Structure 1
Amino acid sequence: MATQLDLQEQEQLDALKAFWKRYGNLVTWLLIAALAAYAGWNGWNYWQRDQALKASAMYDELDRAAAAGDADKTARIFGDLKDRYPGTAYAEQGGLAAAKVQFEKGQVDAAKASLTWVAANAAEDEYRTVARLRLAAVLAAAKQFDQALAELDAAKAAGFEALVADRRGDVLAAAGREAEARAAYEAAYKAMDDSVDYKRLIEAKLTALGAAPAPAAPAASGAAS
């Protein structure tokens, strides 16, 4: 004779069979989808690590070529780096390094191209802004002042306001627009933290334009005892 416990177990088994008959296919497909997503996530992470490792090795080779002043080899490696691993930080760093050695070797157009690629394709706003700052300097050296100012208008990374204003002053001064240059340097001077040594250079630029900043007010003396 069946006990009460046997009856309860049979009821539970029947309920489970009914549930599985109704929802079994759905549960199976949900499990398959979850396993596929997990496998895909692991595969994506592996692919990302593999890409970063290969890009790192290529960047090391580029860095050695740049240190040796070999602009042509640096450019070739950067070309491969941005074609194969454009989404990595190594491609962004490689573009900046390539542009530096290219400009030093007089390859101005190549330097512009490298910096333009970083400004347009870097994933992080900071890299894009650094590229635009350097590109503005290269353009100004080529007397392409309007293009240089346009690059600075697009340099928007937070924390770079003082450097952007300073570079704007450099471009305007080179273009002979001294009043506007002075205003840009004044904005840079106000935005630059007093603890940053570069602020002294901005002060020197203002002094050269006849607009030396007023000396800081002396700290208030303590109350008389």
Structure 2
Amino acid sequence: MAELRTEEEQVEALKRWWKENGLSLVAGVALAAAGVLGWNTWQGYQENQATAASMRYQQLVNLTAGNDLDEAQLPEARALVDEIVDEHGKTLYADLARLMDARLAVAQGDLAGARERLQSLADAGSDNYVAGLARLRLARLLVAEGDADQALNVLQSGVPEALAAQRAEVRGDAYHALERREEAATAWREALRLAATNEQPLYGVQLKLDNLGLESPDLEGSALETSSRDTTSHDNRGLDA
């Protein structure tokens, strides 16, 4: 389920980036190209660059698909990350590759390196949505490492409303790790409410609530019913940075 969420987040990030930056990118390219290269030539160049970045990123996704990364493939994956960042550093693909790089660091047992990469992307991400993803993954990693207080600090700002349900879920995870059960229940209920309102799938949260053994109010929404039927536990997801 963590892998599914990762793919959904990447698709959503791409959609949002193009929606917010597509027109300005085209305008900027047009201005830069004027008087230097013919528009058609410059447009072709940009399209080739975008295609190359997309192809390299798809290679990276294919190489790292699945929950268990092959140790022998890690060097190739890290090399692809470096190539995407070096050659296409101003694109969304570079930020997504940096997110993947943090996951690769976890796979290699380099938790400190993963934290550093996620913090850097959270602080300087060129896309607010991707920076928000970085904060969420950083918070999950901190909870998994036993630093739930710091995880709560990370979630205080910098997470866009589009990720509000996920933020509430991770906040609940942090409260649960601190044995603040009532606050955990409140946060998870909020996560389910937001997921239902926004028609977003949110897997495993109802199971977490059920395991608390606390009474919870009824929540409306067909999306919530879908979430509550999912009984997949992913308490160890924090290490999938």
> What TM-score does the superposition give when structure 1 sets the normalisation length?
0.66
Q: Post-superposition shift, 1:173?
A: 1.0
* Amino acid paired to 2:128: D
Aligned partner of 2:34 among 35, 38, 47: 38
Q: Post-superposition shift, 1:95?
A: 1.9
Q: Post-superposition shift, 1:50?
A: 4.2
CA contact (8 A) 1:125 1:157 kept: yes
Match of 1:51 in 2: 49
Q: Post-superposition shift, 1:168?
A: 0.6
Alignment of 1:129-144 (within 5 A): 129-144=132-147
In structure 2, the CA distance between the partners of 1:189 and 1:73, relative to structure 1 (3 Å rule), is: same
1:140-187 Cα offsets, whole Å, 9 max, x none, are 111222332222123431221111011111112112232322222232
CA contact (8 A) 1:203 1:212 kept: no
CA contact (8 A) 1:204 1:212 kept: no
Match of 1:198 in 2: 202
Match of 2:149 in 1: 146
In structure 2, the CA distance between the partners of 1:214 and 1:57, relative to structure 1 (3 Å rule), is: closer
Cα distance in 2 between the residues matched to 1:133 and 1:72: 26
CA contact (8 A) 1:95 1:118 kept: yes
CA contact (8 A) 1:155 1:164 kept: no
* Dislocated runs of 4+, deviation >3 Å: 40-51, 194-197
Report the count of equivalent residues.
182
Match of 1:179 in 2: 182
Cα distance in 2 between the residues matched to 1:191 and 1:198: 10
Cα distance in 2 between the residues matched to 1:37 and 1:77: 29
CA contact (8 A) 1:58 1:81 kept: yes
Q: Does 1:111 align with 2:114?
A: yes
* Amino acid paired to 2:163: F
Cα distance in 1 between the residues matched to 2:140 and 2:77: 21
In structure 2, the CA distance between the partners of 1:40 and 1:168, relative to structure 1 (3 Å rule), is: farther
Match of 2:236 in 1: none
In structure 2, the CA distance between the partners of 1:181 and 1:94, relative to structure 1 (3 Å rule), is: same
* Amino acid paired to 1:198: L
In structure 2, the CA distance between the partners of 1:148 and 1:93, relative to structure 1 (3 Å rule), is: same
SS of residue matched to 1:192: helix
Higher relative contact order (CA 8 A, sep 6+): 2
Aligned partner of 1:120 among 120, 123, 133: 123
SS of residue matched to 1:213: coil
Q: Does 1:156 align with 2:154?
A: no
Aligned partner of 1:71 among 49, 63, 74: 74
CA contact (8 A) 1:203 1:213 kept: no
CA contact (8 A) 1:66 1:98 kept: no
Q: Does 1:100 align with 2:98?
A: no
In structure 2, the CA distance between the partners of 1:215 and 1:145, relative to structure 1 (3 Å rule), is: closer
CA contact (8 A) 2:57 2:84 kept: yes
In structure 2, the CA distance between the partners of 1:106 and 1:49, relative to structure 1 (3 Å rule), is: same
1:108-146 Cα offsets, whole Å, 9 max, x none, are 223223323432333222211112111111121112223
Q: Post-superposition shift, 1:36?
A: 8.7
Question: Larger Rg: 1 or 2?
Answer: 1
Match of 1:13 in 2: none
Q: Which runs of 5+ in 2 are unaligned?
A: 1-30, 221-241
Q: Post-superposition shift, 1:44?
A: 6.1
CA RMSD in angstroms, aligned pairs only: 3.1
Q: Which runs of 5+ in 1 are unaligned?
A: 1-34, 218-225
Aligned partner of 1:207 among 201, 205, 210: 210
Match of 1:62 in 2: 60
